[in-house]
A and B are shown apart, each in its own frame.
Chain A
């Protein structure tokens, strides 16, 4: 039995291919909520949401402020806003300063998720060419959650997985296929 209640995912350079390989594999019955931060240029709409909605069996949407977090929904941070998790199970947005030169920032999402959901968080850091996500994944581990890093050998950009592994040496390193089956198994438990 798994105690997972919330999945958070961060990806940057190479994110589109990685998410297309991961999210469509999840079954329609997948019961957990999933929050995703992808770094996209700030003045562009997040084109990933309609793209992934067309390929996924789960509802994919852009996160709205004060929205309740529901199982089986994949929420994307809107471009140019940080996405945070509130303890009562709602989403919050912020236009605070960039963190790691990014808004949305993976660290901001992961740290607030770890704070709100504690050991119930599964954090996944994927391909990317910066260091965002490393501190956030450590916060997930410190709160008793599960930390997963995409195997660098198949990552489009390795800086982000490498930084995460340096901050979290005990994290699991997995290929996208393994991440997909691991997440699916969480749903089956």
Chain B
């Protein structure tokens, strides 16, 4: 039973790649299997193969399936100590550059984009920075660009912002209406939202800081190596790479190209070549 389902999953992932060029074939299998079985039961299909049949013939089905495959749960200033370390340890280095590029890879619905934009504004760096916010899910990108979040999440966001060493009040940056918080347009006038896949796409600019947190836990080892290789090529000399609090470069083929900059907070720095 389980073996058949494994085969069906493999075939579905191959079909998604061949038909739509979405490549989930090297995603960590256990969690993608869980998401696909959830999608199967919530969308009401008797089997994974039945779901594959529909998505192959009906492009309207694709966004619904992508919703299950790419959903990542985030919050603003998630892990406040990470943002505190950026503020206290990384920002002093970034200040020495006349212009800056920051890449939020796998930005999902944008919580981290706004967190970094606010942090950079508070540190006086926003106006000389271009932020690239990328993801493979067009619906997530659209949500990120809209910058609208449910009001009941704001309390947690505010608490995190304060713990991260926030120098202002989070309420300075959004307008509350009809149960939603709309973040200020001025926070994204220097943000480029763009479709980019860590699986299939190439380097596109030279970055001073890349933040890619809790994205690569969904990849298998070879795919993690590909993504970290992209980051390595993208980073300027002594550029910074921030990972999720339970991720590390320890098992990566590129480990030697980076030094630990703030080990506890999983912030790495590219070594001199």
Listed in ascending order, the chain A residues whose CB lies under 8 Å from chain B are 62, 64-67, 78, 81-82, 84-87, 92-97, 108, 111-112, 115-116, 118, 143
Contacts and interface: CB of A to CB of B under 8 A. Distances in A.
Given A81-B246, A95-B73, A115-B2, A86 B30 contact: yes
Nearest to A99: B34
Given A66-B224, A92-B28, A95-B214, A111 B34 contact: yes
Contact of B246 (A87, A93, A108, A112): A93
Contacts of B2: 115, 118, 143
B201 to A, nearest CB: 23
Contacts of B101: none
Given A81-B246, A84-B31, A87-B29, A96 B217 contact: no
A133 B251 CA distance: 31
B34 A108 contact: yes
B159 to A, nearest CB: 9
B33 A66 contact: no
Given A87-B29, A92-B28, A66 B34 contact: no
A109 to B, nearest CB: 10
Nearest to B250: A64
Interface of B: 2, 28-31, 33-35, 71-74, 214, 216-218, 221, 224, 244-248, 250-251
A67 B221 CA distance: 10
B246 A65 contact: yes
B28 A112 contact: no
11 contacts: A62-B246, A65-B216, A66-B221, A84-B31, A87-B30, A92-B28, A94-B217, A95-B244, A96-B71, A111-B34, A115-B2
A140 B251 CA distance: 30
A47 B34 CA distance: 29
A92 B221 contact: no
Contacts of B72: 95-96
B263 to A, nearest CB: 14
A65 B28 CA distance: 10
